[in-house]
Amino acid sequence: MILGSICVRGGSKGVPKKNIKILNGNPLLFYTVDCATHSMFLNDIVVSSDDDQMLAIAKNLGIKNTFKRPDELATDKASKWDVFIHLVEEYESKTGNIVEFLVDLDVTVPLRKPEHIDGAIAMMQNNKVDVVITGYEPERNPYFNMMEITEGNYAEIVKKSEKPIVCRQDAPLVYSLTPAVYVIRKQALYDFKHWSDAKCMIYEIPRKNAVDIDTDFDFELVEFLMQNKK
């Protein structure tokens, strides 16, 4: 089966109580729950949180399976990979269902669409990979216009090529990741310590749907985009 997961912590340094802050009339959590329920491929949805208020809101939004996350998995340094394992094992123990794919949907990307969820799942089903991650073509490219500071305080291009790249169109294609959708083969949770160790593919989504809310400015930007949507 394909299980959708929505993992929300009570704490947030950038925007306090971000995951339930009111955005355009609804708590931020609403948009991810609503999107997930319109996916054609998700068989069930789970919300995991350390915060009772967030779990109560999830239940009011129609989520039947909610799990209280242990304190050690609720810090800003906790590995989400461990959160996934806890969620899957709790779900399988409670329901008896056996998960094949976990599809994590980050609450901070409220402009994703159901077709992005289903497209990423289809990519996983049609390819022999462990993880499919959503991404978009960024405005900056490490082969062309991104630099890092090296020893001696000098600046150098992040990814040097044998021949200097003089126009952006000639640079290799790179992607910025967005946590809009992460599709993970369940076995990969036990075979690898982190998704970056696994065999991955990128499912590209439009930049306008990939805005990730980390700051108050991001929050205001998304609300502006929602209110001015044509």
Predicted pLDDT at 16: 62
Residue range 175-187: average pLDDT?
96
Residue range 61-86: average pLDDT?
84
Predicted pLDDT at 13: 58
Is residue 73 over pLDDT 70? yes
Residue range 25-50: average pLDDT?
94
Predicted pLDDT at 12: 60
Residue type, 201: M
Write down the pTM of the prediction: 0.90
Give the Cα separation of 157 and 144 in Å (integer).
Answer: 7
Is residue 133 over pLDDT 90? yes
Predicted pLDDT at 167: 82
Write down all domains in the chain, each with its CATH number in brackets.
2-133+175-227 (3.90.550.10), 139-174 (no CATH)
Nearest to 92 by CA among 83, 80, 104, 100: 100
Is residue 181 over pLDDT 90? yes
Residue range 180-197: average pLDDT?
94
Angle of helix 28-37 versus helix 52-60 axis, rounded to 10: 40
76-85, 173-182, 194-203, range with the lowest pLDDT? 76-85
Contact in structure between 27 and 17 (CB atoms under 8 Å): no
Is residue 196 over pLDDT 80? yes
In Å, what is the CA distance from 184 to each residue of 117, 129, 195, 199? 12, 9, 8, 10
pLDDT digits (tens, 9 = 90+) for 11-34: 665 566 788 889 999 999 999 999
At which residue do the structure tokens 């997961």 appear? 5
Is residue 134 over pLDDT 80? yes
Predicted pLDDT at 11: 63
Beta bridge partners of 218: none
Predicted pLDDT at 15: 65
